[in-house]
Structure 1
């Protein structure tokens, strides 16, 4: 059954590549590829982990992936505009010097705010500790303040703008010297992430960077299926570099006990173990909630609890098995919908998610002409697409239904307005800062 699972998902992935004509940025491909790699690793380690795929697990994963692909296709059909790959992205994304300086100042202030809060939380270690040593990883009582949390959200979005500005202007050879100043807020955000000890945010940053770069090349090549393969192969080496960085960070922001693990033990545990954990959960088959969609929309329920609409919400602690010292308590995209809605319900959620992501991609990103509005939609999409890519790890897709997502969307609009809006002065011509 384990080999059949791998062969089936490989077949679905091949079908997606053929139907999508090598569109490696499509939601269904980004959803299926990491899950396929995760299954491959799990099968590779099946003897070591005692992995025996349940029939229900087989149907949960394979039909779930296929229905996400079907939803992607439905989302594409809901937008009937003819594809226009030949119209390139040629807009200049540069920001005026005044606003760039203000963004840099905000970035430096953000580093100070986060460092002050982190250093206070680990004061017993001493303020003279280096940036990496003041990581908050492992501090059970640590939680950021509202001000710092909002600052981190703003910085993550500003870094996305910086990535898009540099990638766009470099790709289309309109880069100016002041554009390179956006490296400062980008690096500032990375420093904040490392201080917080959040490798997940670091992965999200790399996913966003690769996705924006790939889309730029995809547009520049006019959607050529043959050229897309060449572009995709170039990105493989960047992914390998990211994995090496991820492994190296075990020395600074990982859980205790991981320092001595090999590269393959670390990567296999984080990428492949989730399939085995999902299989064990399905085998137990004894978890349910009285609240509708409690696991899938947990963040929304937590928000309601905080503002007093709901009180005393149920909690659930999953028991998990350690893989060579790796504490794993995540179960792929399928766990939350399966727990909330059962097998058929999880398939419906997969289909619905595919429709939503497919519609947004084909309407706002895939066929957009080269203008600033396209770039804005691309940045928003690139910022959230990591939730689809990380489907092999946990269900971050349904967790997007939250107050935090709404706040980030508002921040995207406000930051975009700040960077590019024109100021009207009565009695004078329109000018830009």
Structure 2
């Protein structure tokens, strides 16, 4: 218990230090990471007695030092790479009505095919009338007995990326007051995405979309006010309000996606948010056998692909072993368990440093130091799409889903579909591409 309190105080000190060094940017990646670890540690402290937490020095050290190592390249870039000195006074990002209708119809067809295959998989696995969503989630995700075809998984990416692009367009219109009557139609692909996600009994993809929306809104607001203006106070208030609304929404969302639980809201949320802090400690105190393959917990999709191709003998799900938390159990271990288990302490530090370098490059070089353009807008969406890696860092290490072929396909789709939705148009002589960059109004500051 004492060292858990030491961890909490250390995280608080680091938070304020990193916040100042990040030029009071509340959505700088290390600030977000520390904020999420603080929230998770608070839940662990609340449940310390029920979970019989005896926190270890090593667990405390690995978490605090790991966050410092992750932060170092980002803080270096934050103070060495100047942000662009301009404000955007007007933006005209738009999607033609026929493309909106095309997206809606395409999404509906894809979701129909997705549900059809889902029912076929359920029948194949012996579904007998219990919760269909949970049955599919259990057999495809947890047990790994069945899986959706590659063609359906690829088609579903169209639904996912379309939702992100339409959400970005809506946010841009809201910030720059560029609204039209048809804008309400833009929300429909987002709602279809939410429905598609609920079919498989999951809530996490919806959370990822929410996180992406927060990042997109913040960055677009910064382009309007200028990067040097601090707007963190407003987002701290929004964040606290989001927690108050989000916690019950997350709990009751379980029932909306066809799942049930006997746990109270506090038990459920504590297990998800605070549990990983204790599970990481339990792993440190009672580790499992070493990995058979290099990166067997960190690079699951890559190793499964090699296994399917016959290069190695590997077939596994992304899920780790369950451990006890009072009256419940959990199997998520924060940002640091997987690389620590796979690569050892030095390898873990190198791995998290690399992730910090990656996000620092995207945020400070690709986004903050560049003028707004269509390419810049797409880069912001890609960044927001990947940012759950940081938002959920106190819960899990999401390299095991992000470092995959399907993520690469999603990123390619961001570029292709954005150009289609924003720039492609038919002309009397064929088709052409609109250059929206000339319509962006800029003001030097």
Asked if these proteins are the same fold (TM beyond 0.5), I'd say: yes
**Structure 1 stretches lacking a partner, 5+ long:** none
- Give the counterpart of 1:153 among 153, 157, 162: 157
Aligned to 1:12: 14
CA displacement 1:63-107 (0-9 Å, x = unmatched) = 001111112123446x73x32254227321101222222111111
| Root mean square deviation of aligned Cα | 2.7
Aligned to 2:376: 374
Number of matched pairs: 424
- Give the counterpart of 1:206 among 199, 207, 210: 210
Contact 1:305-1:311 within 8 A present in 2 as well: yes
Matches within 5 A, 1:33-432: 33-76=35-78, 80=81, 82-84=82-84, 86-88=86-88, 90-122=90-122, 124=127, 134=133, 136-139=136-139, 140=143, 141-223=145-227, 226-253=230-257, 256=260, 258=261, 260-312=262-314, 318-323=320-325, 326-397=328-399, 399-422=401-424, 430=432
Measure, in 1, the Cα distance between the counterparts of 2:10 and 2:325: 26
CA displacement 1:31-66 (0-9 Å, x = unmatched) = 221112111211221111111111111110000011
Measure, in 1, the Cα distance between the counterparts of 2:230 and 2:427: 51
Measure, in 2, the Cα distance between the counterparts of 1:248 and 1:429: 48
Secondary structure of the 2:274 match is helix
Measure, in 2, the Cα distance between the counterparts of 1:247 and 1:294: 31
Contact 1:337-1:345 within 8 A present in 2 as well: yes
Measure, in 2, the Cα distance between the counterparts of 1:227 and 1:319: 42
Deviation of 1:290 after TM superposition, in Å, equals: 4.2
Structure 1 397/29 Cα, relative in aligned 2: closer, same or farther at 3 Å?
A: farther
Name the structure where strand makes up a greater proportion of residues. 2
Secondary structure of the 1:138 match is helix
After TM superposition, the score normalised by the length of structure 2 is 0.87
Structure 1 19/118 Cα, relative in aligned 2: closer, same or farther at 3 Å?
A: same
Structure 1 397/431 Cα, relative in aligned 2: closer, same or farther at 3 Å?
A: closer
Deviation of 1:232 after TM superposition, in Å, equals: 2.9
After TM superposition, the score normalised by the length of structure 1 is 0.89
Structure 1 225/121 Cα, relative in aligned 2: closer, same or farther at 3 Å?
A: same
Deviation of 1:360 after TM superposition, in Å, equals: 0.9
Secondary structure of the 1:377 match is helix
Measure, in 2, the Cα distance between the counterparts of 1:116 and 1:153: 17
Deviation of 1:328 after TM superposition, in Å, equals: 1.0
**Structure 2 stretches lacking a partner, 5+ long:** 435-445
Measure, in 2, the Cα distance between the counterparts of 1:198 and 1:219: 34
Measure, in 1, the Cα distance between the counterparts of 2:392 and 2:431: 48
CA displacement 1:316-349 (0-9 Å, x = unmatched) = 9854224365441111110111001212221222
Secondary structure of the 1:87 match is strand
Contact 2:276-2:332 within 8 A present in 1 as well: yes
Measure, in 2, the Cα distance between the counterparts of 1:2 and 1:134: 37
Contact 2:21-2:75 within 8 A present in 1 as well: no
**Stretch deviating more after TM superposition (193-202 or 211-220):** 211-220
Deviation of 1:312 after TM superposition, in Å, equals: 4.1
CA displacement 1:150-197 (0-9 Å, x = unmatched) = 122221111000110000011101122233211111100000000111
Aligned to 2:443: none
Contact 1:71-1:358 within 8 A present in 2 as well: yes
